[in-house]
Amino acid sequence: MANETTSSTISELYTEIVAEALFVAQEQSIMRGLVRNYTIAGGGKSVEVPIYANVAAAAVNEATDLSNTAVNPVSVTITASEIGIMTTLTDLARNSASRNVAADIGRLFGEAVATKIDTDLAALFSGFSTEKGPGAGAEITVQDLFECAAELKTNKAPGPYYGVFHPKQIFNVKKSLTNTFVGRDTDLSNEAMRTGFVGNVAGIQIFESSNIAVDGSDDSVGGVFSQDALGLAMMQDLKIESQRDASLRADEIVATAVFGVGELHDSYGVKITADTLAA
């Protein structure tokens, strides 16, 4: 019979969805590449990250025994949880659409997962104990960024340093940028601009992301941090499964991911609260 739904035609549809979704999830997430990444493998759904305190060396006299220095790391546990999204694609919708419905669904699912990862990581900014900047209702300045960099260097936070802000929160800084503060490789910056890269200020690579939350007073909490300040533990990357509903003449398409986020080293991050109405 004509127009049968066979296993071969269904598998082709799902292959298109998986390929598109994985690509978008990787490319659209800004925060994922700026923090420490871990993979949860084997048993359990959490990863324990040891955090070592700084130790100091001292001068000693010849033939004098060294005193013992205790090395006792603390640990941070990141526990993964599941997120998911589902849609039902009917045979009629798939067959009558002028666009590639499979690719469109893949893009939507991929962007949803990327947004969730960025949102969860950015929400950790408010947990940093150190705060710099103008505060609620005021605009960020270049000086604020220099103060953040000085704080991280004082705390011996390892580079590179990243800053992630809402586009309207960082708008005043973008207006103020001059060659005195910004150094860019043209090809690199052109490519990076597509993923929200603004520039390099005070040794901080500045990114903007609309996934930064805005509160009821039109303020946002951005962050300047070392890669070791925050962690992302991935137990299962984006996965798409399907189930046929014959009576509905449709396929349920389910996307899931299992991950967790956490603050690793509090003194390696600085939060900045500022206004988002400037633009």
Band of pLDDT at residue 233, cut at 50, 70 and 90: very high
Q: What is the mean pLDDT of residues 8-36?
A: 76
Report the DSSP pairing between strands 250-263 and 204-208: unpaired
Share of the chain above pLDDT 70, in %: 87
Distance CA 53, CA 78 (A): 19
pLDDT (tens digit, 9 = 90+) per residue, 135-168? 888 889 889 999 999 999 999 999 899 999 998 8
pLDDT of res. 7: 52
Question: CA-CA distance, 255 to 107, in Å (whole number)?
Answer: 12
Please tell me the predicted confidence (pLDDT) of residue 10: 59
What is the DSSP pairing of strand 81-90 with strand 250-263? antiparallel
Q: Which residues, other chains included, contact 200 with Cβ-Cβ below 8 Å and sequence gap of 6+?
A: 182, 183, 184, 206
Higher pLDDT: 178 or 31? It is: 31
What one-character DSSP code corresponds to residue 2? T
Q: Which of 3-7, 103-107, 128-132, 255-259 has the lowest mean pLDDT?
A: 3-7
Cis, bond preceding 167 (omega within 30 deg of 0): no
Annotated domain spans of the chain: 7-53+71-275
Q: What is the mean pLDDT of the chain?
A: 83
Amino acid at 244: R
Does 92 score more than 50 pLDDT? yes
* Beta strand segments in 16-72, E: 36-39, 46-51
Which residues partner with 39 through β-bridges?
A: 234
Q: Which two tokens stand for residue 53?
A: 């305190």
What homologous superfamily does CATH list for 7-53+71-275? Major capsid protein gp5 (3.30.2400.10)
Using only C-alpha atoms, what is the Rg of the chain?
24
Half-sphere exposure of 162 (CA within 13 A, CB side): 21
pLDDT tens column, 4-21: 544 555 566 677 777 777
- Give the span between the Cα atoms of 127 and 146, in whole angstroms: 21
Please tell me the predicted confidence (pLDDT) of residue 136. 87
Decide if 231 contacts 174 (C-beta within 8 A).
Answer: no
Give 149-153 contacts, CB < 8 A, sequence gap 24+. Answer: 149/202, 149/203, 149/204, 149/224, 151/270, 152/224, 152/225, 152/226, 152/268, 152/269, 152/270
- Cβ–Cβ < 8 Å for 208, 165: yes
pLDDT computed for residue 89 by the predictor: 86
Distances (CA, A) of 86 to 76, 119, 143, 237: 33, 20, 46, 16
Q: Given pLDDT bands bounded at 50, 70 and 90, which one contains residue 179? A: very low
Q: How confident is the model at residue 269 (pLDDT cuts 50, 70, 90)?
A: very high
Is the model's pTM score more than 0.85? Answer: no
User: What is the distance between the terminal CA atoms of the chain, rounded to a whole angstrom?
Assistant: 60
